C-alpha cells in the first residue's frame, strides 16, 4: 500500500473496474438513499465481535473469511472504503482488513457528502440485497478471501500492562479531552482522533500536516505506538492517521478502555 487514501477523480473513472471492491461504511439506511456506483454496504457492527464482557473485539478468522468473501473481496483485489469524515467507522473497517492481511485497501480521500458536492456520480441501485448485514447476503460457496492474521498491528490488555513502564512505548488515547481526563490508561497521551481529520470534507490531513502534529506532541516514529479509545473505533482511525504520516510501528487495542476497565486494570 503506497498511500492510505485514494484520489476521488481516480475512483470516479474506475467505478466499473472488476478488480476493485468499493465498500460503503455509512450504514444501510444512508446507503439506501444513495451511494457510489457498485459500492456495497458494510456496517461497523459486521466487523465487530461483541464479547460476553461487552467489549468490541475484532471478528475471528472464520467470520472474516465468510464476510469478506461475500463482499467479493479476494486477496488480489483492491478495496476502497468510504464514509464521512465525522464518522470513524471507516477506520475500524480498514484496520480489520489490514489485520487479516489485506494490504490493498485504501480510504477514499473525501467523505460521501463532499463526493456529492463535487458532482461525482451516485446511484440507488444495489449490487447486494438491501436491508441485510453483509455477512448474511448471497455468500458464494467458494470462500475466496483467505485471512492471514497480522498480529503485529493489534495489542491486547496483557501486552499493554506489561509495557506500561517501557519508555519506548507510546500509548495513544484517541478520545476527547473530557474522556481522557475522566479515566485513561496510565501514562497515555491524548491525541483526539478529530485532530487528524482534514478540512472541507477530507477524511485525513495531509502527510506533512500529520507529521508536524505528531512531532509537536512528542509522538516519535521510532516508538512503538498503541492506539486506544472507548471501543476501538476511533483508535482504528488514529491508526490510519499514523500510517498516513509514515509511522510503521503502530498497533490498535481493539478492546480499548471498556476491556481495560472490565479487567480491573489501573486507571488514571
pLDDT of residue 192: 98
The hierarchical CATH code for the domain 151-262 is 3.40.250.10
Nearest to 33 by CA among 110, 136, 116: 116
Q: How confident is the model at residue 134 (pLDDT cuts 50, 70, 90)?
A: very low
- pLDDT, one tens digit per residue, over 222-234 is 999 999 999 999 9
Q: How confident is the model at residue 131 (pLDDT cuts 50, 70, 90)?
A: very low
pLDDT of residue 2: 65
- pLDDT, one tens digit per residue, over 208-220 is 999 999 999 999 9
Nearest to 116 by CA among 26, 197, 241: 26
- pLDDT, one tens digit per residue, over 7-22 is 999 999 999 999 999 9
| Residue range(s) of every CATH 3.40.250.10 domain in the chain | 5-136, 151-262
Within 13 Å of residue 28, how many CA atoms lie on the same side as its CB? 11
Residue 47 burial by Cβ neighbours in a 10 Å radius (0-12, 13-18, 19+): buried
d(Cα 70, Cα 133) in Å, to the nearest integer?
11
Go through the chain and tell me how many residues it has: 268
The hierarchical CATH code for the domain 5-136 is 3.40.250.10
Q: How confident is the model at residue 126 (pLDDT cuts 50, 70, 90)?
A: confident
Amino acid at each position: 500500500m503506497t498511500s492510505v487514501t485514494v484520489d476521488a477523480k481516480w475512483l470516479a473513472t474506475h467505478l466499473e473496474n472488476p478488480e476493485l471492491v468499493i465498500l460503503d461504511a455509512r450504514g444501510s439506511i444512508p446507503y439506501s438513499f444513495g451511494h457510489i456506483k457498485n459500492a456495497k454496504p458494510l456496517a461497523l457492527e459486521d466487523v465487530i465481535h461483541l464479547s460476553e464482557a461487552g467489549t468490541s473485539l475484532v471478528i475471528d478468522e472464520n467470520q472474516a473469511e465468510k464476510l469478506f468473501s461475500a463482499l467479493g473481496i479476494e486477496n488480489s483485489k483492491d478495496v476502497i472504503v468510504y464514509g464521512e469524515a465525522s464518522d470513524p467507522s471507516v477506520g475500524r473497517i480498514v484496520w480489520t482488513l489490514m489485520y487479516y492481511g489485506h494490504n490493498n485497501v485504501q480510504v477514499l480521500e473525501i467523505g460521501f457528502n463532499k463526493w456529492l458536492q463535487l458532482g461525482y456520480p451516485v446511484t440507488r441501485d444495489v449490487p447486494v440485497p438491501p436491508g441485510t448485514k453483509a455477512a448474511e447476503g448471497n455468500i458464494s460457496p467458494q470462500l475466496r478471501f483467505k485471512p492471514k492474521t497480522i498480529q503485529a498491528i493489534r495489542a491486547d490488555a496483557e501486552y499493554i500492562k506489561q509495557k506500561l513502564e517501557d519508555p519506548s512505548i507510546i500509548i495513544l488515547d484517541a478520545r476527547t479531552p473530557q474522556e481522557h481526563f475522566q479515566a485513561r490508561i496510565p501514562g497515555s497521551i491524548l491525541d483526539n482522533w478529530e485532530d487528524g481529520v482534514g478540512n472541507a470534507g477530507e477524511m485525513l490531513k495531509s502527510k506533512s500536516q500529520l507529521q508536524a502534529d505528531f512531532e509537536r506532541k512528542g509522538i516519535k516514529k521510532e516508538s512503538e505506538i498503541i492506539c486506544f479509545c472507548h471501543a476501538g473505533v476511533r483508535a482504528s482511525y488514529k491508526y490510519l492517521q499514523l500510517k498516513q504520516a509514515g509511522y510503521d510501528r503502530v498497533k490498535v487495542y481493539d478492546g480499548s478502555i471498556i476491556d481495560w476497565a472490565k479487567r480491573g486494570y489501573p486507571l488514571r
